[in-house]
């Protein structure tokens, strides 16, 4: 069962292959979402400072009935924090909001502040090195068990690696059928950096694609199930977002394998260019 499967990160920490994304889950709904997910078998919950629901997620984790050490909880340093001091302070604030003594992983949400995404050529190399140093220090202090990045391109990662004492353990990126950054995945995996795929159903746009629907029907599964399995077969960790317990169960029911030929068909589906209300993204991702 996929909920019992893990990847091992560079420092030996185990991370469940399937997690629950919580973007757009309101703080007052987050407690129940965590409770439902844990009752189904989820042990990996992903949040962020930018989501505004860390408090609710923390309450859910503390009261879910499962020992803390069996849970894997991720949050993200807000993209606007681009100094050591701001990042370090925000990590402490996240722990306080969540009521947790440690996080399993903390990552940089974006190399650029959101207001500059797709609007600027400034990749904030030096600033991200400062934020990374704050994450390294949090790791050394035992405040987090693993550290990573999100929406980072190879050039961003190369810049970090020039001064980093700890290599990023994860790069969390937009990755789904019709928008699969295969070269970035290959780059990360070649360096031992695990890739996490967010928005595996393309913010719902995959539901509208005829080819995806036909292949889902072929396997007797839903479009979201096909999309999540696709990302898993790329070797990524997957964090589909939902507050609906029925969807949580369906998303975790993945006892099938997409054939090599069908994987190639899915990789070749033309890229989605319009995500409607979610259209403004970084090159490989968005404020998710």
Query: Which one of 51, 124, 198, 230 is the catalytic residue?
Result: 51
- Determine which helix (DSSP H) or strand (DSSP E) holds 55, and give its type and residue range: helix 54-62
Sheet holding 105-108, edge to edge: 20-21, 44-46, 72-77, 105-108, 147-150, 170-174, 194-198, 237-239
Cα angle value 168/174/178 (rounded, 5°): 140
| Annotation says 42 is catalytic | no
- Here the tokens at position 281 are 């993204």
| Nearest of 81, 180, 169 to residue 128 by alpha carbon | 81
Whether 79 and 110 have beta carbons less than 8 Å apart is answered as yes
- Per DSSP bridges, beta strands 6-8 and 237-239 are unpaired
| Nearest of 184, 173, 183, 188 to residue 286 by alpha carbon | 173
Whole-number Å distance between alpha carbons of 277 and 273: 12
Whole-number Å distance between alpha carbons of 186 and 235: 10
Whole-number Å distance between alpha carbons of 288 and 280: 11
As a whole number of angstroms, the longest Cα–Cα distance in the chain is 53
| Nearest of 189, 70, 76, 52 to residue 134 by alpha carbon | 76
Q: Which residues carry out catalysis?
A: 51
């Amino acid at each position: 069962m996929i909920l019992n499967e893990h990847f091992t990160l560079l420092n030996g920490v185990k991370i469940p292959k399937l997690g629950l994304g919580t973007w757009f889950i309101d703080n007052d709904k987050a407690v129940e979402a965590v409770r439902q997910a844990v009752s189904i078998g989820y042990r990996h919950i992903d949040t962020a400072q930018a989501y505004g629901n860390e408090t609710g997620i923390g309450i859910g984790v503390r009261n879910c009935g499962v020992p803390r050490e069996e849970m894997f909880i991720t949050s993200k340093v807000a993209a606007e924090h681009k100094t050591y001091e701001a990042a370090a302070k925000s990590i402490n604030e996240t722990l306080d909001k969540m009521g947790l003594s440690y996080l399993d992983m903390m990552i940089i949400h974006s190399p650029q502040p959101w207001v500059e995404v797709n609007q600027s050529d400034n990749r904030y190399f030096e600033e991200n090195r400062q934020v990374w140093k704050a994450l390294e220090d949090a790791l050394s202090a035992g405040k987090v068990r693993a550290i990573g990045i999100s929406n980072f391109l190879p050039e961003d990662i190369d810049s970090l690696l020039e001064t980093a004492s700890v290599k990023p353990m994860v790069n969390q990126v937009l990755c789904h059928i019709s928008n699969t950054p295969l070269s970035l995945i290959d780059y990360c995996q070649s360096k031992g950096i695990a890739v996490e795929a967010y928005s595996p159903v393309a913010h719902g746009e995959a539901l509208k694609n005829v080819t995806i629907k036909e292949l889902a029907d072929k396997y007797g599964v839903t479009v979201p199930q096909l999309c999540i399995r696709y990302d898993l077969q790329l070797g990524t960790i997957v964090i589909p977002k939902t507050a609906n317990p029925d969807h949580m169960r369906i998303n975790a029911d993945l006892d099938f394998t997409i054939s090599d030929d069908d994987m190639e068909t899915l990789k070749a589906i033309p890229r989605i260019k319009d995500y409607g209300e979610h259209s403004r993204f970084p090159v490989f991702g968005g404020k998710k």
